[in-house]
Amino acid sequence: MCGIAGLFHIGTPKPVDPARVRQMTDALAHRGPDGSGVWTAQGVGLGHRRLSIIDLEGSPQPMHSADGRVTIVFNGEIYNFQELRAELAERGAQFQTQGDTEVILAAWQQWGPDCLRRFNGMFAFALYDHGDHTLFLARDRLGVKPLFTAELSDGSLAFASELKGLLAHPLLRRDIDPLAVEDYLAWGYVPDHRSILRGVEKLPAGHYRLLRHDAAAAKPVQWWDVDFSRRHTGSEADLSAQLLHHLREGVTSRMVSDVPLGAFLSGGVDSSSVVALMAENSNSPVNTCSIGFDVAALDETLHARKVAQLFATDHRERIVDPDDFGALDALAGMFDEPFADASALPTWRVCQLARENVTVALSGDGADEAFAGYRRQVFHAREEQARSLLPAGLRGPVFGTLGRVWPKADWAPQFLRAKSTFQALAQSGEEGYARGLSAMAPEQRTLLYTDTMQRSLGDYRAEQPFIAMMQKAPAQSGLDRAQYADLKFWMPGDILTKVDRTSMATSLEAREPLLDHRLIEFAAGLPHSARIKGRQGKYLLKHTMERYLPKDILYRSKMGFVTPLAQWFRGPLAKEARAIATSGVLARTGWFDTDRIAALAEDHISGRSDNSRALWQLMMLDRSLGLIQPSS
C-alpha cells in the first residue's frame, strides 16, 4: 500500500521541479514509510511513497517498463497479478521483478485502457506513456483507493492519494466550496462528486482519465458499473454454493502477502465470515484483533472472542476508553476534508492494534451494501411495498400531513418514532431513501443557514445527485436502486474513506475481500428473497455461513462501532458544544445562524433533545476548515 502524487502539464510541456513533487509525496509519508522515489521528464513528474507488501526489495517506484517506454506510480494491490504475469509472458512480455506493479505496465502495453477490466484488485495509479505522451489515471471499480486531482494556474494537473498531497503545492487555491458544505451536512462526508475545495476533484470509482499534453484535459471515463437489472435463476442451494465459491475466492486472493497478515474481528457476521474462510485456507493460526469498550451496551468482545476460539486464532483485544475525544484534532488531520462518521475513532484504534503485529489486515466491509444488510434497506423495501399500494396523489397529502404534525420523539422507543417514516412515505422511493440515509434533513440545514449561504447554494440541495443516481441505476426494484446508491455513493464516500485514512494513518494495509468485484456482481443478481427474508437482511449470506458459524453470531442484532456522542456533549464536550457558535472558523464564515447553533447546543446539554450528531458534524467541520485555511 502506498501514496502517489504527481504533476502533468496540459498545453505546453514545461519542466517539472522534482523538489515540488517530493514535497507532495512527503505529505503522504504515513502511507508509505518504507521508501520513496521521484521521477520527472519534460511536462511530467511522478512521486511515490512505499509500504512494502509484495516483492519487498525488488519493486521500487516510480517503475519503468522493461523497454523504458512506460513509467508508473501505483497505490494498491492486483490480486491476480501472477495469472496475468503468466499470460503476458506467453505474449512476449519480459519482467525484471516479482511484484504486481510491473504487471500493470505490461498489461497497459498489451491492452491499453482495457487492461483495467483484467485486474482484480484495489488500486489508484498514474501511468505515463513516453511514446504517446499521455498520462493514464485510473481508480478501482468500487473506490477502495482514492485519487484527488486539481488543475493549477500554471497549466498543470496535480494529483495525489490524499488532499494533503495537493495542499502541499503552493499553487493550489484553498477556496471552500459552499456546495460541498451542503453535501457534508447532508451526508456527514463530502461525496466523490465534489471536494471541499473549489477546483479539486476526485476521480470517481470505476473511472479513468487519459490526458495528453496537446489536448484539453479529458473528462473521466467510466470503465465499470454494477448491474442490478438481471436476476440469477436456480435453487437456493445452487445460489448458496455459488456464493460460497465467490466468498472463498475473495478471501484467498487477498491472503497473498510477503509480510505478516491478519484480520479485524468484531464478532459480527461479516468479519467472522472472513476469519472463518481465512482459517479454512491457512496452515497456521490467523492473527485477529478486536477492540472493546468498558460499557456493556457498546462492547462486542465476547462475540469476537467466541469466534476466535472457534477457529483457534491468535487473538488480541484491547479495551478502549469510550471517552476518546482527545484524538479529535488528529482525526480531523487524517481526513483533510470534514468527516463526521464517529466510528472513525474506534476504527483508527483497531488499526493501531492490528499494526502492532501485522502489516496487512482483512476486513468485512462491503457485505451490508451488497447483500442488503442495513436496517434502512430492509425498511426501504417495506416502504416500497406500501408505496405500491397507495397512489402518490394520496400518499403525499396523508403522510405529508402526518409527518409534519407527528412529534420528533428522540427519547421514545423505536416503534413510536414514526415521524421520519411518514415523511419518507409522502415522497418517492428515491427521495425517501435519501432522507433516511442523510445525517441532517434539508429542513434542518435550512434553519442553520444564513441568507448569504442560501444565496450561495441557489436551488442546489445535496440530495439531488443521490436521487438522480438512484433514478438512473441499472435496476428492477426500489431495493436494487437503494443498494446501487449505497455501493456507488455511500460506500466510497464514507465507509472506504474511513478505512483508507485510518489504516493508512498507521501504515497498515486494509483489504476488503467482500468487495471482490466478482462477488459484488453475483450479489447484484440475487433475487429479493435471497437478500431479505421477513425482516432479516443478508439472508443468503447468513444461510450460507451456517456451516461455519453458530446462529447466535449470525442472527444477533447488528451493533457496529459506537461512539457515545450524546454523553460527550452533555459532559466533557459541553464546553466545546457551546463554543461552536461563537469561536473558530465557522463563526467567521457567515454561513450559519450562530443563535440557532447555540440553541442546538443548549437544547442538547439540557436534555431537551438529542442534537449530538449535528453538533459533531459542526465541530468536525470547524476543525477541518481550520486545518485547510489556518490563516483565515
CA angle in degrees (0–180, nearest 5) for 437-441-442:
125
Instruction: Look up residue 451 and give its three cell numbers.
Output: 441568507
> Among all chains, which residue has been given the C-alpha cell 415521524?
419
How big is the chain, counted in residues?
632
Residue 470 and residue 574: Cα distance in Å, rounded?
39
Q: Are strands 261-264 and 360-362 parallel, antiparallel or unpaired?
A: parallel
Instruction: Give the active site residue among 2, 115, 289, 351.
Output: 2
Spatial CB neighbours of 224, under 8 Å, sequence gap ≥ 6: 116, 117, 141, 206, 517
Instruction: Look up residue 536 and give its three cell numbers.
Output: 432479516
> Among all chains, which residue has been given the C-alpha cell 476488503?
512
Spatial CB neighbours of 385, under 8 Å, sequence gap ≥ 6: none
For residue 377, which of 510, 231, 523 has the smallest C-alpha distance?
523
109 and 69 Cβ atoms separated by less than 8 Å: yes
Instruction: Look up residue 378 and give its three cell numbers.
Output: 430492509
DSSP state of 158: E
DSSP state of 296: G
Spatial CB neighbours of 576, under 8 Å, sequence gap ≥ 6: 569, 619
Instruction: Look up residue 408 and give its three cell numbers.
Output: 420528533
Residue 424 and residue 405: Cα distance in Å, rounded?
14
Residue 629 and residue 315: Cα distance in Å, rounded?
43
Tell me if residue 115 is catalytic: no
Residue 424 and residue 1: Cα distance in Å, rounded?
42
The residues that are catalytic are: 2
